[in-house]
Structure 1
Amino acid sequence: MTETGATLLLRDGFVLLGVGLVFVLLFRRLGLGATLGYLVAGAVVGPHVLGLVGDAEAKMGIAELGITLLLFIVGLELNPTRLWRLKQEIFGLGLIQVVICGFAITGVVWVGTHFSAAAAFALGLPLALSSTAQVLPMLQSVGRLRTPFGERAFSILLFQDLSIVPLITIVAALSRNPADANAPPGWLLATYTAGAVVGLVILGRFAIRPLFRLIGNLGEREMFVFAGLFTVIASAALMQALGLSTALGAFVAGVMLADSPYRHELEADVEPFRSILLGLFFLAIGMLLDLGAIAERPFFVIAMALALIATKATVMTGIGLAFRMKWRQALALGLLLSQGGEFGFVLFAQAQRGLLIAPAAASLFGAIITLSMATTPFLMRVTQRIRAEPMVAQGDRDGPEMDGANALVVGYGRFGQTVAQMLIAQGIPVTLIDNDIKMIDIASEFGATVYYGDGTRLDLLRQAGAREAELILFCIDGDQMEPGLIAGVHEAFPDSTIFVRAYDRRAVIKLRDAPVEYVVREVMESAVMMARRALASVSVGEQEIDRTETEYRRRDRERLHAQHESGDLRAAGDTMLTQDPRRAEGA
């Protein structure tokens, strides 16, 4: 790269990141979401307003990796247990929504534009998809992502994300581009697709998983991040080489690792790259919006955006009622999913390459998606009185079968195993995390699923479900728990009660000001139990043993309290039960 090229790259990066940061913070503050902030920021710095940054097409090529990583994370969410439990919502509710909304919006576009049927179809199907990047954060921020209502919305969004692959295939089949005339026939593409999927699954089972196991044994987190990105990009590149969808390759890569112990670690490691690249994707989309074409037909954009919202909200409300949802919940679901989505931009680009729509039409309908996204937060506020009944009543919440863990146990050694099994015995769902590959392998032999990762990392805890967890129990060997770490966990997950296994008295004293519900010394109770058995074996009576234990615990509490107050391990040393030297000599 020339010095001029490097300078331009740095300048463009500075401008894009700086302006994007300002607009995202502003739009977050206004409750409009980060997605809209990125789009507006891209439009402002793009060639049609300030012209501060150019070559949006090149940046789009890099930014589309964000979509690839998004599909990978979607695949990671599809572990077999969750997929089976939500099968009706995903493949029933989701399929019906995409099909009915797709055909309804196609009709609206055909009537409103007089485009050809193929062009209307290429525009209508993408508009049936909603914005995963906008809706999921909204649900998460109000604590409804893991409720039945939230899971219905998630299921629909998940099916929409999965449908991007067949939709790309449909748009490609409608292509009028002569360059596509030499493309392989559909049956051959289907064969390629099936073969590639099977090949990726086999590679995942016999090559990728052993690779992650090796890296886990080495304890090299940087190599784990490297290997995760390699897996995504290699899968996408394989699909691209076969003339197939890169999104499908990334999705299959995620699915083949969804039930592996490395799922949460991979999510935590890939998520920052996905967020950055997806933000860059929306910035590039904003730069590509032809504001001149939009300014020529502002009423058309507004009218089509309103028609899109009304059509999707009406259809989705009707589908919700058909699935026996209360009318308030059905209406809320319809309004929540009434906007266009980020995958619409991808499909519009595909339709443009296939000569189905002109660049001006792609810009117009990109603006329609953007405007529909802007209305969602306002719709949810304006209709709050209509939706006065809570989306999910407390009595309707799922119990222990809910996918979100009610407890996170960090460390699955001899201590964590006991804690986890007692929680499970009471029907409390538990997510287990450990970074010892050998322990994970041994646990799997006994039917326990332990996820690989460093459970002291906030990002990994978040991916593992700490936001919804009622209990977080650190059962880690050694003196690893620091007050700052506990304070960070409490601040990030204030609704979770924290328990800590401490190595010794020094560790307990160190955590005296930490926001912990209970700290237990790892050998305290087992040592008391051994002493009781020893006393019983030399014929000391049960009442006397109880009195001795009570006295020891009283003295220990007094000593620990004094040590807490002073921070001196030698404080209240006179409370210790020590043997008289003269008595020892007599013995």
Structure 2
Amino acid sequence: MAAHGGIDLVQVVILLAAGVIAVPVFRRLGLGSVLGYLAAGLVVGPFGLKIVSDPQAILHAAELGVVLFLFIIGLEMEPQRLWALRKQIFGLGVLQVLACGAILTVVGILLGFGPAVAFVFGMGFVLTSTAIVMQVLEERGELATEPGQKIVSILLLEDLAIVPLLAIVAIIAPTGEGGDFMSRFIGIGVALGTVIGLVAVGRWILNPVFKFLADAKAREVMTGAALLVVLGAAVVMEMGGLSMAMGAFLAGVLLSTSSFKHQLEADVEPFRGLLLGLFFLAVGMALDVSVVISNWQIIALSVVAFMLVKGAVIYLVARITKSGHAEALERSVMMAQGGEFAFVLYTTAASAGLISGPTNNIFTATVILSMVLTPFSLIALRYLMPKRQQSMEGVEQIPDGLHGQVLVIGFGRFGQIATQPLLVLKHRVSIIDNDTDMIRAASQLRFKVYYGDGTRLDILRAAGAGTADVIMICVDKKESATRIAELLRDEFPLARVYARAFDRGHAIELLNTGVEYQIRETFESALTFGSRVAQALGATADEAAEVIAGVRGRDAKRFELQQMGGGITAGRDLLISNAEEQAREGGVSTTGPDEAETGDREQV
């Protein structure tokens, strides 16, 4: 039943429920959130349970999710950073689009389509799904990495490519006027004028406006203004003949250096996530199962042929541009599908009479199926690809006969600080680590670090564990630290071992393996931090030092009790009784037992 005003709240509730149920399930299965949304959309759509009857209307509304997503990406792309990517955007991006477009057009002709239709089919498939790829990169935390930046650059160029592609469709369409080139030039001029106007507004108007709104202290107005900027830029760019997504991206870039950047991102983020999920739901709903069934041979052949050929060309382009095998293969699999801008191109071609309605349905189904298959392809790649090997360039293996007074295993944040007093006192320190990037970075600071995995007995022998006066275990993984401590206890029982502990339980575990000294990695820094806060609240330095000494003493008693077998509960009871006693003496409040049991659960 529709609500007053024509809004069907039942459909809204069902769409939200479908996403809320499907996405966590699919993520738990390791299939990703995108596939969860697509599957949910297929189930509730007109070709599933028929709960939603007009997926195209939802798809048009949900495209705002892609718009907002590109705005947030634009906020992270400061002009200097974007300028630094110019070679990748207009070099790597153009090369991939042209190569894939030419080969896929040939594939379309081989599949039986006419040259013009094959061109539209192939070029539409070239336009990778920005939403899917960006979502995958964001979930992996790879947007800021070098391979991620290359993919982002290519996606930006593909988004730009929709403009000339739409112009080409208008020219080659049978209804197009061959001599109407003046309108084409006018269209190009309007597009350029739109971009220049938007840049001018962003350069001289937006910051003063947001400053005025911020001074008004109205949070909801700031949120409305953020949405106005994004959607306004998208609409203006669309009116100028460009894509809405590019307008939003350009608005983000223009505001990337603004002092209101983080406020804008926080205001837009909730809408972006919700609408982007709705976009994937709508794509799943738009998959016409009847079209797939009646044309399954040509659709299946097209999906397989286009994804394989496009993936192969992307791989070759990546290798030609000096990307490694693993990076090239991952890029080819991630970008082998068609994308949302293909729908725009195919619809425009159908409206212009270049392709028929049934052909448009076949092309659209091909793109949607390729988008559905992408998460599965990425999962298969993850399991089939061998584990990435670290580059050993500029890294030295442990030489024979390495000796030092102190052997340091692990040279991360903890190890770097812990070794500095020893180096100042002129002790001979040997350092090993198995992170090649860190070793290269350390060499630039004139630290000599050798490559070696401390969990291997042969590496410990070669590193001089048998002759070192002290061995420092500074690795950040507690399983590795425990394993190294056990090896040292069994093979070098006379070694004096000092270890970094992850938490209280790990500290007890290390002591049980025979280490001479352990320290929990955050304990002392937390005490210092608490002391400074106490002084900021009015305590004198002496009072703060006395309180910290009391905390340290009670912690030592509790730790000793737990090590002797009293367990966490006994240690916690001692903590509570001591805290209550101190509170009675000092006249301060303290948490009750229920509150004391929460938080870190005695893990510090």
Which TM-score tier does this pair reach, normalised by the shorter chain? 0.5 to 0.7
Q: Give the unaligned 5+ runs of structure 1.
A: 397-405, 407-425, 428-511, 532-548, 575-587
How far, CA to CA, are the matches of 1:391 and 1:152 in structure 2? 21
Instruction: Write out aligned runs for 1:270-289 (5 A).
Output: 270-289=268-287
1:285-333 deviations in whole A, cap 9, x for unaligned?
3333332221112122121111122112211111111122222332222
1:324-356 deviations in whole A, cap 9, x for unaligned?
222233222212222222322233223333332
Conservation of the 8 A alpha-carbon contact between 2:133 and 2:334: yes
Conservation of the 8 A alpha-carbon contact between 1:149 and 1:392: no
Conservation of the 8 A alpha-carbon contact between 1:24 and 1:34: yes
1:505-558 deviations in whole A, cap 9, x for unaligned?
xxxxxxx9x999945636959999xx9xxxxxxxxxxxxxxxxx8x77643523
Amino acid at match of 1:153: I
How far, CA to CA, are the matches of 1:134 and 1:113 in structure 2? 30
Partner of 1:217: 215
Partner of 1:228: 226
Partner of 1:473: none
Aligned residues: 441
Amino acid at match of 2:317: I
Amino acid at match of 2:39: V
Instruction: Write out aligned runs for 1:146-545 (5 A).
Output: 146-176=144-174, 185-242=183-240, 244-384=242-382, 387-390=385-388, 518-519=529-530, 521=532, 524=535
Change (3 A) 1:553 1:515: closer
How far, CA to CA, are the matches of 2:239 and 2:157 in structure 1? 26
Amino acid at match of 1:228: A
How far, CA to CA, are the matches of 1:183 and 1:279 in structure 2? 41
How far, CA to CA, are the matches of 2:116 and 2:581 in structure 1? 79
Change (3 A) 1:22 1:327: same
Partner of 1:85: 84
Conservation of the 8 A alpha-carbon contact between 1:289 and 1:363: no
Change (3 A) 1:31 1:162: farther
Amino acid at match of 2:37: Y
Partner of 1:104: 103
Partner of 2:549: 558
How far, CA to CA, are the matches of 1:105 and 1:3 in structure 2? 45
1:122 pairs with 2:123: no
1:133 pairs with 2:131: yes
How far, CA to CA, are the matches of 1:232 and 1:342 in structure 2? 19
CA RMSD for the aligned pairs? 4.0
How far, CA to CA, are the matches of 1:91 and 1:250 in structure 2? 20
Amino acid at match of 1:56: P
Q: What's the CA shift for 1:222?
A: 1.9
SS of 1:339 mapped into structure 2 = coil
SS of 1:53 mapped into structure 2 = coil
Q: What's the CA shift for 1:143?
A: 4.4
Report the TM-score when normalising by structure 1.
0.65
Amino acid at match of 1:82: R
Conservation of the 8 A alpha-carbon contact between 1:105 and 1:311: yes
Conservation of the 8 A alpha-carbon contact between 1:101 and 1:312: yes
Once the two structures are overlaid, the 10-residue window that deviates more, 63-72 or 310-319, is 63-72
Change (3 A) 1:286 1:172: farther
Amino acid at match of 1:557: I
SS of 1:113 mapped into structure 2 = coil
Partner of 1:494: none
Amino acid at match of 1:323: T
How far, CA to CA, are the matches of 2:325 and 2:118 in structure 1? 31
1:387-437 deviations in whole A, cap 9, x for unaligned?
3141775989xxxxxxxxx9xxxxxxxxxxxxxxxxxxx99xxxxxxxxxx
How far, CA to CA, are the matches of 2:71 and 2:177 in structure 1? 30
Conservation of the 8 A alpha-carbon contact between 2:170 and 2:176: no
Conservation of the 8 A alpha-carbon contact between 1:313 and 1:338: yes
Conservation of the 8 A alpha-carbon contact between 2:3 and 2:9: no
Amino acid at match of 1:566: A
Change (3 A) 1:220 1:168: farther
Conservation of the 8 A alpha-carbon contact between 2:310 and 2:336: yes
SS of 1:157 mapped into structure 2 = helix
Q: What's the CA shift for 1:226?
A: 0.5
Conservation of the 8 A alpha-carbon contact between 2:163 and 2:241: no
Amino acid at match of 2:249: F
How far, CA to CA, are the matches of 1:569 and 1:351 in structure 2? 79
Q: Name the larger-Rg structure.
A: 2
1:546-580 deviations in whole A, cap 9, x for unaligned?
xxx8x776435236668996279967669xxxxxx
Report the TM-score when normalising by structure 2.
0.63
Q: What's the CA shift for 1:112?
A: 0.8
Once the two structures are overlaid, the 10-residue window that deviates more, 55-64 or 557-566, is 557-566
How far, CA to CA, are the matches of 1:43 and 1:312 in structure 2? 26
Conservation of the 8 A alpha-carbon contact between 1:189 and 1:244: no
How far, CA to CA, are the matches of 1:3 and 1:257 in structure 2? 40
Q: What's the CA shift for 1:229?
A: 0.6
Change (3 A) 1:172 1:307: same
How far, CA to CA, are the matches of 2:241 and 2:157 in structure 1? 23
1:68-92 deviations in whole A, cap 9, x for unaligned?
3233234323212321333333332
Amino acid at match of 1:555: E
Change (3 A) 1:148 1:296: same
How far, CA to CA, are the matches of 1:5 and 1:355 in structure 2? 39
How far, CA to CA, are the matches of 2:112 and 2:548 in structure 1? 79
1:19 pairs with 2:18: yes
SS of 2:8 mapped into structure 1 = helix
How far, CA to CA, are the matches of 2:4 and 2:108 in structure 1? 42
Partner of 1:578: none
Once the two structures are overlaid, the 10-residue window that deviates more, 138-147 or 356-365, is 138-147
How far, CA to CA, are the matches of 2:545 and 2:87 in structure 1? 57
Q: What's the CA shift for 1:151?
A: 2.8
Q: Give the unaligned 5+ runs of structure 2.
A: 395-412, 414-440, 443-522, 555-574, 588-604
1:105-139 deviations in whole A, cap 9, x for unaligned?
1221222132x333222221121122333233333
Conservation of the 8 A alpha-carbon contact between 1:172 and 1:354: yes
Partner of 1:506: none
